[in-house]
Amino acid sequence: MNVKIHSVKFDADKKLISFIEEKVNKLYLYYDEILGAEIFLRLDKDSAERENKVVEIKLDVARNPLFSKKQCKTFEEATDLSVDAMRKQLLKHKNKLRKN
């Protein structure tokens, strides 16, 4: 699977990039027809709670793309939540295809 990671207005370190790639590649276990993935890492405006790390995942799946966006205190936490949401979407998509 082709994984592209874009960090908007900052440079992500190699540790974060490898963590994200590892998590996203695990999605391939749930659905093997994923063509590619694009991940966007953003820093939102500073808020009082400091939950300003945003992770957006877009998966290119046959017939329709899937999208997940989460905002947390750390990129790792946002990635975990976003990958979990994407896993649920993939399983739902897979079940829908089986019924047809």
Residues 6+ apart with CB under 8 A from 26: 83
Dump pLDDT digits (tens) for 18-67.
Answer: 999 999 999 999 988 899 999 999 998 866 667 889 999 999 998 789 99
**What is the pLDDT at residue 82?**
97
Beta bridge pairs of residue 71:
54
Task: Please report, for the chain, the start and end positions of each structural domain, with discontinuous segments joined by +.
Answer: 2-99
Does domain 2-99 fall under CATH 3.40.640.10? My reply is no
**What is the pLDDT at residue 47?**
61
With 90 as the cut, is the pLDDT of residue 88 above it?
yes
pTM of the model: 0.89
CA distance 74 to 76: 5
